[in-house]
Amino acid sequence: MEGGVLIVQRWILARLRHRVFIGLGELNTAIGECLTMLNARPFQLLPGSREEAFKLEQPLLKPLPAKAYVIERFKKARVNIDYHFELEGHY
């Protein structure tokens, strides 16, 4: 998932980096246009595009729950010199 976000971020920023926007609405319109182009682009290794993949998955999507899911875990931890800390065997 994070890899996909990185691809979208880099692809859109690369196309908009030399443009000047007067307002947020203009920027949002430009981002929307870039996103539409990116979603229509064919995958490099798989058949189809992001748009086609979404159309296949859309009927399987469920609505968001009415009540937000809250994760609460508390643990005293010391941050290591490399800025990592351990939680349930993960760093």
Give 11-34 pLDDT, tens digit per residue: 899 999 999 999 999 999 999 999
What is the reported pTM?
Answer: 0.60
Contact 11, 17 (CB under 8 A): no
In this prediction, residue 82 carries a pLDDT of 85
Counting residues of the chain whose pLDDT is more than 90, the rounded percentage is 55
With a CB cutoff of 8 Å and minimum separation 6, the contacts of 30 are: 16, 19, 21
CA–CA separation, 43 and 36 (whole Å): 14
- Band (pLDDT 50/70/90 cuts) for residue 1 is low
- Band (pLDDT 50/70/90 cuts) for residue 66 is very high
- Whole-number CA gyration radius for the chain: 20
